[in-house]
Amino acid sequence: MNRLTLERRQVWIYLSAIIGGLLVGSVWPGIAPYFEMLLWPVLVCLLYVTFAQVPLLHLREAFRDHRFVAAMLVGNFIALPLLAWALIQWLPADAAIRLGVLLVLLVPCTDWFITFSQLGGGNVPGAIAVTPLNLLLQLLLLPVYLWLMLGTHLAITLSFTEIWPALLVVIVPLIAAVVSERWIEARPARVKLRERLAWWSVPLLALVVFLIAGAQVNAVSEALSLFPVIVPLFVAFLLLAALIAKGLARWMVLPTDQGRTLAFSLGTRNSFVVLPLALLLPAGWEIAAVVVIVQSLVELFGMAFYLWWVPRKLFR
């Protein structure tokens, strides 16, 4: 099996991991604290492997194609935040649910959208070049977006003393990935190491969702009644994101392959970068982490639809 085949089957791998985690957590409820302890080192490893695939030292290359970069920035950091804000107006007036939705919809993907761009006939070099810019801007702008859209609810919920462990979970693997990239690029023979690391993304992510499902059985049970509300919202986001990509590609006069890449970028979100923050929310806010997981599953099924719709209908 090659890596592309593994990534094509990742939806079913993650779904099986979630079901397995729920079963284990239901049969042995006392295992939840152990799953929670194990989750953090696994999540750090997952983020390191994810960041290691991003060309963090090549930010300058992202600016070579001005129209493509402009479309990416306008789509991911202006149009989609406005869309996310509009969509949460249809949600119940529950700050935890709205925070979970905003956390995941405000951050563009930096890893598997490249794979989907490749499978969907997109511009893979362009996708790779723009990922460090997307990652940097989302880390800088996410607090601003949340403050603007949630205001006092966010101030009451989050304080630096509560979120600094989550920030470390993101920052430590990010720094490690930068150091690794410099070490790998020092010698061409070391590039194979990065390719081997890429194989670990799917197994590690499956282990993360297994541990979360096992540790959060009660939160998942409580969230089942919300699925008819949040799942259609995430489906609507996927459809509208692709149409926004179509409009931006036409406005910026992008070639077809770049338009496809733009659609996959706008449709995919960086759910497992914001997951540490969702997991460290105070008691009573556990639903936010469940919302993030639900979005990632809806997105993966949505990408199966995108792989048909984007190259065959939207950007022919």
Segment of 144-148, 169-173, 232-236 carrying the highest mean pLDDT: 232-236
For 251, half-sphere exposure in the C-beta direction (CA atoms, 13 angstrom radius) is 12
Average pLDDT, the chain: 85
CATH number of 120's domain: 1.20.1530.20
pLDDT at 240: 97
Q: Give every CB contact of residue 283 below 8 A, 6+ residues apart in sequence.
A: none
pLDDT at 58: 63
Q: Please say if the pLDDT value at position 5 is more than 90.
A: no
Q: Please say if the pLDDT value at position 207 is more than 80.
A: yes
Q: 48 in helix, strand or coil?
A: helix
Q: Please say if the pLDDT value at position 176 is more than 90.
A: no
pLDDT at 161: 55
pLDDT at 153: 57
pLDDT at 86: 96
Single-letter amino acid, residue 297 = L
Residues 250-280 have pLDDT tens digits of: 999 999 999 999 999 999 998 878 888 888 7
Q: Which domain holds residue 113?
A: 3-314
Average pLDDT score over residue span 194-213: 83
Average pLDDT score over residue span 108-137: 86
Q: Please say if the pLDDT value at position 158 is more than 70.
A: no
C-alpha 261/C-alpha 127 separation (Å) is 6
CA 298, distance to chain mean position in Å, is: 12
Q: What percent of the chain has pLDDT over 70?
A: 91
Which residue, chain included where needed, has tokens 């959208």? 113
pTM of the predicted protein model: 0.85
pLDDT at 174: 83
Average pLDDT score over residue span 306-314: 92
Q: 56 in helix, strand or coil?
A: coil
C-alpha 157/C-alpha 151 separation (Å) is 10
Q: What share of the chain is helix, strand, coil (3-state, %, to 5)?
A: 85, 0, 15
Q: Please say if the pLDDT value at position 151 is more than 90.
A: no
The tally of domains found in the chain comes to 1
Least confident of 75-89, 146-160, 246-260, 292-306: 146-160
Q: Please say if the pLDDT value at position 62 is more than 70.
A: no
pLDDT at 166: 65
